[in-house]
């Protein structure tokens, strides 16, 4: 039921702008058997040092698209969603010992997964985080047999997504909380035995060593910190790095859940393990500061909400189970999913509603003057669709564009700052592919320098008029002379 609820939303096939360049990078790695070390997709930052910091996830995306096209991407998205939801359900059930309460808790938190459930390598990081929490919860319950799964998990994780840092944080919190025995109000912690401390130390050390096993050495380990502290323009202007919007309906729901937790804690006087309560607070704070960290709040909070709901929802009773009915329901859901799975044609139609598919066809059909400026959100699709035929102005790899100053220049152009036209001339831009409704489209339409050559419901193409291009060529010739 959790998976089919998510599938209903997935049928809209709303993809993240970055998924396209992730696919292209993955397919390049598969074709060349080399990891990128410099930018080859843009004309604004060519040759700039760059590493594919999520290369393993990129190759999975690239292989899925190459093998089965858009249906392969949707099948991968559904498979990852199913894995995440089932793992989250397992985590909440393990902690609360009440599968029905865990189901209700996961159903409530499913509303917050829209930010994280966009087809990108981060979905693999989301799954790895929940698996890590399951292993740590089993350890807390005295079942340490799976603890040695963490080093190989972190080995795959660091090559897939930067959220491995959150996994290390969770591991550290569990380890430190068991150093001493604590009983403080509603918080408790039981000290690890000497053997448990040794095992934890060895596994943590092995996990740290595993993080260095990447095509880029330890630079991949440091990238999340570079993103957080060395890319202020990128962080300040990307929506998922903005604070949680409490004016949105689900922002209000987030606040309601937090207040409900406080009310339940006051009324029921529940007792929590120090590690899980600490992670709950960390997850809530991270989500409030940055929207994308809902990714951490959901798995950190699901077990606690399941425990609270377990006060009113009776636990599972094997004697009352209806095995045949359950089997029929699962088969019906599986059959419905297969029957309702969109065709390749339907998916192409959905892609065309959100991405400049027809504009790209026009660019390929007619020899437009280059280089071409593009809207930020179109960049990833252009990297994917133009296949190197036309280098982009900018795409979702904000790190290289911030370091080279291109991101700041793009923001000035996009916001129609006074230096917008001088910047377009500085980059020798001869054509523009932008959204139909953005301010720059209005400005170019009113300019004698630019001519509209294509337009549809989503995008519009402008080219610099011949007279202006000729002037630029003359000035360039004089400079060279």
Kindly state the helix (H) or strand (E) to which residue 373 belongs, with its residue range.
strand 372-374
Percent helix, strand and coil across the chain, each rounded to 5? 65, 5, 30
Closest CA to 301 of 285, 315, 281, 286: 281
C-alpha 385/C-alpha 364 separation (Å) is 10
For the beta carbon of residue 90, count every other beta carbon within 10 angstroms.
17
For the beta carbon of residue 333, count every other beta carbon within 10 angstroms.
14
pLDDT of amino acid 51 = 94
Buried b vs exposed e over 104-131: b needs ≥16 C-beta within 10 Å?
bbbebbbebbebbbbbbbbbbbbbbbbb
| Residue linked to tokens 């437009």 | 368
What mean pLDDT, rounded, does the chain reach?
91
pLDDT of amino acid 247 = 85
> CB-based burial of residue 4 (10 Å sphere; 0-12 exposed, 13-18 middle, 19+ buried)?
middle
Kindly state the helix (H) or strand (E) to which residue 189 belongs, with its residue range.
strand 187-189
**404 phi, psi to nearest 5 deg:** -90, -5
The answer to whether the Cα torsion of 155, 157, 163, 166 is positive or negative is: negative
Buried b vs exposed e over 158-195: b needs ≥16 C-beta within 10 Å?
bbbbbbbbbbbbbbebbbebbeeeeeeeebebeebeee
CA 440 to each of CA 157, 381, 431, 445, 447: distance values in angstroms, whole numbers, following the listed order: 40, 20, 13, 8, 10
Contact call for residues 132 and 140 (beta carbons, < 8 A): no
The answer to whether the Cα torsion of 326, 329, 332, 338 is positive or negative is: negative
187 in helix, strand or coil? strand
pLDDT of amino acid 424 = 95
Estimate the crossing angle of helix 294-309 against helix 55-96, to 10 degrees: 20
**How would you write the pLDDT of the chain (481 residues) with one tens digit per residue?**
899 988 988 888 889 999 999 999 999 999 999 999 999 999 999 999 999 999 999 999 999 999 999 999 999 999 999 999 999 999 999 999 999 999 999 998 888 876 677 899 999 999 999 999 999 999 988 888 899 999 999 999 999 999 999 999 999 999 999 888 888 888 999 888 888 899 999 999 999 999 999 999 999 999 998 888 888 888 888 888 888 888 888 788 899 999 999 999 989 889 999 999 999 999 999 999 988 888 899 999 999 999 999 999 998 888 888 999 999 999 999 999 999 999 999 999 999 999 999 999 999 888 888 899 999 999 999 999 987 668 999 999 989 999 999 999 999 999 999 999 999 999 999 999 999 999 999 999 999 999 999 999 999 999 998 754 555 555 556 666 6
pLDDT of amino acid 469 = 53
Complete edge-to-edge strand list for the sheet that includes strand 272-273:
182-184, 187-189, 272-273
For the beta carbon of residue 215, count every other beta carbon within 10 angstroms.
16
What are the DSSP calls for 139-156, one per residue? HHTT--TTGGGHHHHHHH
**431 phi, psi to nearest 5 deg:** -150, 160
The two structure tokens encoding residue 146? 């799976």
For the beta carbon of residue 380, count every other beta carbon within 10 angstroms.
26
Question: What are the structural domain ranges in the chain?
Answer: 53-316, 353-480
Half-sphere exposure of 313 (CA within 13 A, CB side): 19
């Amino acid at each position: 039921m959790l998976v089919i609820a998510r599938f209903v939303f997935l049928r809209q096939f709303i993809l993240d702008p970055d998924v396209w360049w992730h696919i292209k990078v993955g397919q390049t790695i598969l074709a060349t058997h080399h990891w990128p070390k410099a930018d080859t997709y843009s004309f604004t930052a060519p040759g700039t040092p760059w590493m594919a910091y999520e290369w393993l996830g990129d190759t999975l995306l690239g292989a899925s698209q190459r093998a089965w096209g858009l249906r392969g991407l949707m099948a991968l998205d559904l498979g990852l969603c199913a894995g995440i939801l089932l793992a989250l359900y397992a985590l909440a059930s393990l902690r609360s010992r009440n599968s029905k309460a865990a189901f209700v808790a996961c159903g409530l938190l499913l509303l917050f997964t829209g930010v994280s459930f966009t087809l990108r390598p981060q979905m693999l990081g989301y799954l790895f985080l929940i698996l890590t929490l399951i292993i740590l919860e089993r350890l807390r319950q005295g079942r340490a047999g799976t603890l040695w799964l963490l080093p190989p998990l972190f080995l795959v994780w660091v090559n897939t997504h930067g959220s491995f840092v959150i996994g290390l944080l969770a591991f550290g919190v569990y380890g430190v909380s068991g150093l001493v025995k604590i009983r403080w109000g509603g918080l408790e912690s039981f000290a690890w035995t000497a053997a448990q401390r040794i095992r934890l130390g060895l596994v943590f050390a092995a996990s740290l060593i595993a993080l260095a096993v990447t095509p880029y050495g330890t630079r991949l380990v440091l990238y999340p910190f570079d993103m957080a502290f060395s890319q202020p323009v990128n962080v300040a202007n990307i929506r998922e790095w903005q604070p949680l919007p409490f004016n949105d309906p689900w922002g209000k729901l987030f606040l309601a859940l937090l207040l409900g937790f406080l009310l339940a804690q006051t009324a029921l006087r529940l007792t929590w393990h120090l590690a899980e309560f600490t992670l709950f607070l960390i997850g809530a704070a991270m989500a409030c500061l940055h929207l994308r960290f809902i990714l951490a709040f959901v798995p950190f909070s699901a077990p606690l909400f399941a425990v609270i709901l377990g006060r009113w929802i009776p636990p599972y009773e094997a004697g009352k189970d209806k095995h045949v009915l359950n089997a029929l329901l699962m088969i019906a859901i599986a059959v419905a999913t297969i029957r309702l799975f969109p065709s390749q044609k339907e998916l192409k139609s959905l892609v065309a509603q959100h991405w400049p598919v027809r504009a790209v066809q026009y660019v390929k059909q007619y020899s437009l003057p280059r280089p071409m400026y593009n809207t930020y959100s179109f960049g990833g699709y252009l990297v994917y669709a133009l296949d190197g035929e036309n280098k982009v102005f900018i795409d979702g790899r904000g790190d290289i564009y911030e370091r080279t100053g291109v991101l700041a220049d793009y923001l000035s152009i996009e916001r129609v700052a006074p230096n917008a036209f001088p910047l377009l001339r500085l980059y020798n831009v001869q054509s523009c592919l932008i959204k139909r409704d953005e301010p720059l489209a209005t400005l170019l339409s009113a300019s004698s320098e630019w001519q509209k050559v294509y337009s549809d419901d989503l995008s519009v193409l402008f080219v610099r008029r011949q007279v202006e291009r000729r002037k630029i060529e003359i000035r360039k010739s004089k400079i060279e002379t």
